[in-house]
Structure 1
Amino acid sequence: MAFNVLIKPSDHSFIMEADETILEAGLRHGFILPYSCRDGVCGTCKGLLLQGTVDYGKYEDSILSEADKAEGMALFCCAKPTSDLIIECREVNAAKDIPVKTLPCRVHKLERLDDVMVLYLKLPANERLQFLAGQYIDILMKGGKARSFSLANAPHDDEFLQLHVRNISGGEFTKHVFMQMKERDILRFKGPLGSFFLREDSSKPVVFVASGTGFAPIKSIIEHALYVGVKRSMHFYWGAHKLSGLYMLDKAREWETHGIKFTPVLSEALPADEWQGRTGFVHEAVLEDYPDLFGYQVYACGAPVVVEAAHRDFTTLRGLPNEEFFSDAFTPAPKA
């Protein structure tokens, strides 16, 4: 059975199934309600039922009291509808609406893909990290140092936080990841951080440009867009030196079956790659394909030289408005 939910004061509405929680359904439809633990123990998702009835689900009595319920409060991460609903809560519309936390996590799995290590990090049982697709976290190291990595998983797929770490010669954290890190190790991080996320209030077609592990936040954004049903035209360009640098090529190919146009570009393809695709610099492939970018949004991520060249050439040569260029440049940490 399906029910209608109306959110006040935004007047956003969505249809949900009886076996979904309000939070799950809202996220599925692209309406980001506040949450943290997703397990009824923190109270972050508490909101007001203005009309309708729910099954309150399983929660901690100290978080939702009988007095709270008498006042119409519910925990949206636990509550499931038994009728149409009108609820009142704030929605997360920008990075500033999400609290930045410092949390521990455990290394659940290490997956090596050529010179990239994919880290899967598990949070404590009663914690979840709310973030916008495309944001990053800072891994906190001894001595107060921090290393920034984009979250490669989409917000709805948050059982594990996924990071893509490239093996950079001389990198202190990189060396630790590839030589010493093992499953069940404990890390601490701060996040979410950054303003690199899809502006969902726009209807403009999107061009994504990534070099190397700049793929990570683009992956998060595209998987989020597919999950919530964003209908905008999207074209993803991914550049690398050689074929192995496109370390999740099958994933990008899979998106093509869902309507995401994909153009891989290699700048130094090896004979063994037997590469028949586009060659050169990734942002130049965009210039070749798009004589006019005035009506577009561009999201670029990766090496600073790539991001800077894309911004310069797209705005000066192709008419892209400066305010429609969003970027996240990966600057290597000092080796010292």
Structure 2
Amino acid sequence: MTIKCKVKSIQSLASNTYQILLHPEQPVSFKAGQYLMVVMGEKDKRPFSIASSPCRHEGELELHIGAAEHNAYAIEVVQLMRKALEKQTDIEIDAPHGDAWIKEDSERPVLLIAGGTGFSYVRSILDHCIAQNKANPIYLYWGARDESQLYALSELEQIAAEHKNVHFIPVVEETGKNWQGKVGNVLQAISADFDSLADFDIYIAGRFEMAGAAREQFTQNKQALSERMFADAYAFI
């Protein structure tokens, strides 16, 4: 369904990463883990995960867009949003989309995996689980190039401190002098931490190659069930 939205705000989260708040002209019904399409043209719609959770979004839709210099696909969307904010004009979205939403009836432990701004996808799921008082163990692994890209680090550390069933494990590829956490590839960090993933529901957001590698590695080496692995990428690879 195509819906007009006002751009309420654009804030920098990290270098080349932006939080965009949209106010749709009518309520958007979606599930935690779904995405929307920003309408750039009649045949040009670009997908972005909804970072808000369906139970606590107060009529607004939050996006996290990584728009590095080489990523014209995302930069053009941010430019569209800035123009709409400046001129107070509407943008159009097509929503909701995606089948990789949280399976609320499952009591299995949850493994959330994000690369970069894929965090917006797992943030929606995590926030929804907390709001619904789900007691399942939840492990959130967030991989980034360096600590500066972990723009919600303190927020997630606080959530994990307040909820005994939530475990947050950040992983960076490049370390600063004060970094005390895990270093390297996020999938390798998970493989090192778990002997088996047979009992887990696994939710993944990142590049297609990352999602593909996770499915291959975890089903072959960690007894993960492919039917209990969820990612929008799996509709395309």
Q: Is the structural similarity TM-score above 0.5?
A: yes
Q: Does 1:107 align with 2:7?
A: yes
Q: Provide the rounded CA distance (Å) in 1 between the counterparts of 2:66 and 2:41.
A: 20
Paired residues for 1:54-93 under 5 Å: none
Shift of 1:130: 0.5
Find out whether 1:258 has 2:158 as its counterpart.
no
More helix by share: 2
Residues 7, 81 of structure 2: 8 Å contact kept? no
1:113-192 correspondence to structure 2 within 5 Å: 113-114=13-14, 115-124=16-25, 127-158=26-57, 159-168=59-68, 169-177=70-78, 181-182=82-83, 183=85, 184-192=88-96
Distance 1:196 1:230 in 2: 18
Deviations along 1:85-114, one digit per CA (max 9) or x if unpaired, are xxxxxxxxxxxxxxxx21000000001112
Q: Note the alpha carbon deviations across 1:197-240, whole angstroms, 9 max, x for none.
A: 11112111111111001100110011011101111111100000
Identity within the alignment, %: 30
Post-superposition offset of 1:144: 2.4
Task: Tell which structure's C-alpha radius of gyration is larger.
Answer: 1
- Distance, in Å, in 1 between the alignment partners of 2:28 and 2:42 is 25
RMSD: 1.8
**Structure-2 separation of matches of 1:196 and 1:143:** 26
Partner AA of 1:130 in structure 2 = S
Rounded to whole Å, the distance in 2 between the matches of 1:314 and 1:234 is 17
Give 1:178 shift: 5.1
State the partner residue of 2:135.
231
State the TM-score, normalized to the length of structure 2: 0.90
Residues 108 and 267 of structure 1: CA distance in aligned 2, closer, same or farther (over 3 Å): same
Q: Mapping of 1:1-336 within 5 angstroms? A: 101-114=1-14, 115-124=16-25, 127-158=26-57, 159-168=59-68, 169-177=70-78, 181-182=82-83, 183=85, 184-256=88-160, 257-259=162-164, 260-269=166-175, 271=176, 274-329=178-233
Question: 1:166–1:173: structure 2 CA closer, same or farther, 3 Å change rule?
Answer: closer
Which 4+ stretches in 1 moved above 6 angstroms?
none
Count residues in correspondence: 226
CA distance in 2: counterparts of 1:178 and 1:109, whole angstroms: 13
Q: Distance in 1 between matches of 2:77 and 2:230?
A: 31
Letter of the structure 1 residue corresponding to residue 195 of structure 2: P
Unaligned 5+ segments in structure 2 are none
Specify which structure has the bigger relative contact order, considering alpha-carbon pairs within 8 angstroms and separated by 6 or more residues. Answer: 2
Normalized against structure 1, the TM-score is what? 0.64
Instruction: Give unmatched runs, 5+ long, in structure 1.
Output: 1-100, 331-336
- Is contact 1:207-1:298 (8 Å) kept? yes
> Does the CA-based 8 Å contact 1:167-1:178 persist in structure 2?
no
Letter in 2 for 1:128: P
